[in-house]
Amino acid sequence: MTTATASQSNAASVDPDVKVQSDLSALSEQISLVRSMLKLAGPLSSIKEDEALLAVIGFLEACAPRMVELIEAAAGVRVGRNVRGVPG
């Protein structure tokens, strides 16, 4: 039980900016991976059968809604600063 509480405490104390940077770094690595895998892939029919490639593509598809949220949130902060007269 102590371990679970410590994990929850650590998760709660993580700086949100650090978390976002970490997530973006992981996403960037996966994008690079899928690009390199696609360069090595053969015709479309072989891509559809490549389980590793499909797994990476699935990961990227699952990340899409979160990336949209982050972009919209960042755009909202920037717009809010501009509206208040604070340079962004």
pLDDT digits (tens, 9 = 90+) for 4-21: 555 555 556 778 888 889
* pLDDT for residue 46: 83
* pLDDT for residue 82: 55
pLDDT digits (tens, 9 = 90+) for 21-70: 998 999 999 999 999 999 888 888 888 889 999 999 999 999 999 999 98
* pLDDT for residue 59: 96
CB 20 within 8 A of CB 26: no
Rounded to 5 degrees, what angle do the CA atoms 78, 30, 11 make? Answer: 65
What are the φ/ψ torsions at residue 59 (nearest 5 degrees)? Answer: -60, -45
